[in-house]
Every structure is written in structure tokens, then in C-alpha cells.
């Protein structure tokens, strides 16, 4: 099998070399970007692991604090009687307002 050669003109030769060099440059840029991507992914992975360990430490510290702090009496913080008192005071206010209105009507009737 014999090889055949084609002679290129000077502008064709320059055009081909320019395109070849541009393609090589793009490939090198892609390799650089991919290496940066791999580095960032590795950094992300290590940061995620660090975050997970910090969260676990924080959970353990919260559990330790909960065990060391005194327990609060739940009955003290549950306002079971307060709503009844509020309802009574609202009813008293309504009945007082009704009495006031009744007195105003009597006063108007006297005039």
C-alpha cells in the first residue's frame, strides 16, 4: 500500500495549524476544568464529613447538657387554669358592658 501526499498552499497550511492549535488549547482547558472540578468535589466531600462530625458532636453536647440541667416541672408551665380565668373575665366584661348599655338606655328614656 502506497501513501499519497497532497501539497497544501500556505494559507491552507496556516489555517490547519491554527485549528489544530485551537483544538489542543480547548482540550487543555477542559482538562484543567476537570481537574478543578475533581479538586472541588474532594473538598466538598471532606467538608461534608467535617459537618457531619460537628453535628454529631453538637447532638452529644446537647444530650449532655440535658442530662446535667435540672428538669423543669411541666405542671408549672402548663397554663390549664388560665384559659378558664380568661373566659370568666371576658364574660364579666360582656355582662358589665351589657349593664352599661342597659343603664344608657334607661337614661335616654328618662330624657
Q: Distance (Å, rounded) from C-alpha 50 to C-alpha 58?
A: 12
pLDDT at 86 over 60: yes
- pLDDT recorded at residue 101: 82
Question: Averaged over 19-42, what is the pLDDT?
Answer: 96
- pLDDT recorded at residue 110: 79
- Mean pLDDT, rounded, of the chain: 85
Let me know: does 29 contact 36? Beta carbons within 8 Å: no
More confident site: 76 or 51? 51
Q: Sorting pLDDT into bands at 50, 70 and 90, what band is 64?
A: very high
Residue 49's closest CA among 39, 41, 60? 41
For the whole model, what pTM was predicted? 0.49
Q: Distance (Å, rounded) from C-alpha 87 to C-alpha 85?
A: 5
- pLDDT recorded at residue 83: 58
Residue 16's closest CA among 7, 29, 28? 7
Element (H, E) at 23: helix 10-68
- pLDDT recorded at residue 85: 59
Q: Distance (Å, rounded) from C-alpha 47 to C-alpha 44?
A: 5
pLDDT at 79 over 80: no
Amino acid at each position: 500500500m502506497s501513501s499519497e501526499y497532497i501539497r497544501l498552499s500556505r494559507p491552507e497550511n496556516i489555517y490547519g495549524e491554527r485549528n489544530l492549535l485551537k483544538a489542543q488549547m480547548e482540550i487543555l482547558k477542559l482538562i484543567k476544568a476537570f481537574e478543578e472540578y475533581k479538586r472541588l468535589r474532594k473538598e466538598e466531600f471532606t467538608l461534608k464529613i467535617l459537618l457531619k462530625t460537628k453535628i454529631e458532636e453538637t447532638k452529644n453536647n446537647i444530650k449532655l447538657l440535658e442530662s446535667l440541667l435540672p428538669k423543669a416541672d411541666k405542671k408549672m408551665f402548663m397554663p390549664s387554669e388560665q384559659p378558664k380565668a380568661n373566659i370568666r373575665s371576658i364574660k364579666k366584661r360582656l355582662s358589665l358592658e351589657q349593664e352599661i348599655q342597659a343603664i344608657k338606655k334607661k337614661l335616654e328614656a328618662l330624657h
